[in-house]
Structures are given as structure tokens and as C-alpha cells.
Amino acid sequence: MPILTVLNNKGGVAKTTTAINIASRLAGEGKRVLLIDLDSQANLTMSTVGQDGEAHVGHWLNGEKPLSEVVRPYVPNLSVIPSSKALDMYSKLIGSEEDYQFKLKDRIDGDNLTKLYDIIVIDNAPSLTTLAYCSLVAATHVLIPSAPEYYSFAGIDNIMQSVANVKKRYNRQLEVLGIFFTKYHTSYRKKVANDVVEAARETFGDLVLTSTIRVNASLEEAQMMRQPVYEYAPDSNGAADYSKLVEEIKTRL
């Protein structure tokens, strides 16, 4: 079963938007999908099930609450394990444990989540945190969204190095599913954006997906309404772009 972690150590690249809409699209196709929010900012949680101070992913990871008390339904076929600002404290506690890297993997295996779901999608903080490393150890694939900006592009090297280290030491099956650009389309005329995308293709070759995500207000509006873009604005550019991205992802899984 694919376990897909969405990761970039630069903020503002539509990482959370990507996790929500990939998961929602797959759920709409009949897949049983679980979204895990590993970011203490809890943007994914706020954009899906809301934040109400109840059980969260930290409780589950630390064994304080069972899965049944933490997981919450979002839309048909799609459930969410929400986050909380308290996750920062849990992250520090987990990071102090021996073999902490396996914390998420052990919980996934222990609760037989690979039998309960067809795919798991993990959203991470915009940095290579303790829990981000846990997600790499648990995942089968890494998806890297990037804005067509120098600093976002430059950070991809750090992620690739982290993936290589985790693959060598902890998780032989881990693969980079692909790198793709958000806030970008080939029709855009901003030279620096086109230069960054071209540099990425020269550097990373076929790892750069052909799908891109255009700037689209419907994507932000959908999250404010706690709806997938496919429900809020099914005819929008955002819905069309993420549909194309999911189709390309499916050819690589």
C-alpha cells in the first residue's frame, strides 16, 4: 500500500493544499484514504475537520489514545488524523526516545492501517523536523511540491539528501515519487520562474513531473470552507490541475 509523504522545507509551496486535494481526489475515485497531519501549525486540520482541542496525532503517536479516538471523518472514503499546536511538545518528547525514527511506522503497523486504507497521505511542517523524519521512515514515496522560486528550488537538495540517508539507513523501499511546481504554468511569462523550472528539469530529470498547479483563488477559498476543491469549485483551474497531477502520480505508484 502506498504511503505518500508530502514534504518541502520551504513554506508557501501549497504543501497542505496538495495533500488535501490529492487525498480528496483519490477518495472520490473510491479509494479508502487516510490523511495524517504532522504539522503543529495544523493548517490541514483547520482546512478539513477543524481544530477543537480534542484528541490529536500526538496522543496517538505517544500511545495515549487509540486510533478510534483520534481519527475523524472528512468526506466519503477520506478520514483525517488531526494535529494540534501541542504537537511541538510531543515532537520534542518523541525526538528524545531511542529509535524515535520508527515511531510513526510502528503506529501504522500496530494499528494495521495498511489493511484499513488503500493509501495514506502525510502532511508535514515546512522544515525537516523530527516528525518529518518519522514520516520518511514510514513512507513508501515522497512528493515534493516547489514554488518556481530560487529558495524553494534550492531547498530540494536538502530533501533529496535526507531521503537518500533515510533510504540507506532505515527504509530501503523509500522512493521520490516526483517534484512538481505550484503557482506556475508554462504560459506564465515571468522569466525567473521559467528559469527555475528549467534548472530543475536539468538537475533532477524525470523526477520533475509534467503537471503544474496554477495560481487559483478557488484552492484557498475551498480550504476556508473546509471543502475539497472538487466539491467547492469542480470546474476551476485548481480542480483541473490537481486532477492531472493525481493521474500522473498514479502512473508512478
Is the alpha carbon torsion for 239, 240, 243, 245 positive or negative? negative
pLDDT of 139 above 80: yes
Full-model pTM: 0.96
Q: CB count, 10 Å around CB of 79? A: 22
**Superfamily, domain 3-250:** P-loop containing nucleotide triphosphate hydrolases (3.40.50.300)
pLDDT at 189: 73
Asked whether the beta carbons of 73 and 79 are under 8 A apart, the reply is yes
Say what percent of the chain tops pLDDT 70: 99
**Residues 192-232: tens digit of each pLDDT:** 889 999 999 999 999 999 999 999 999 999 999 999 999 99
Amino acid letter, residue 161: Q
Pairwise CA distance, residues 195 & 160, whole Å: 21
Residue-range domain boundaries for the chain:
3-250
Grade residue 187 by pLDDT with cuts at 50, 70 and 90: confident
Give the contacts of 90 (CB within 8 A, at least 6 positions apart).
58, 61, 62
pLDDT of residue 52: 63
Do 242 and 25 meet the contact criterion of CB atoms below 8 Å apart? Answer: yes
Predicted local confidence at residue 12, as pLDDT: 86
Looking at residues 18-44, what average pLDDT do you find?
97
Give exposure, 26-61, as e/b (b: 16+ Cβ within 10 Å): bbbeeebbbbbbbbbbbbbbbbbbebeeebbbbbbb
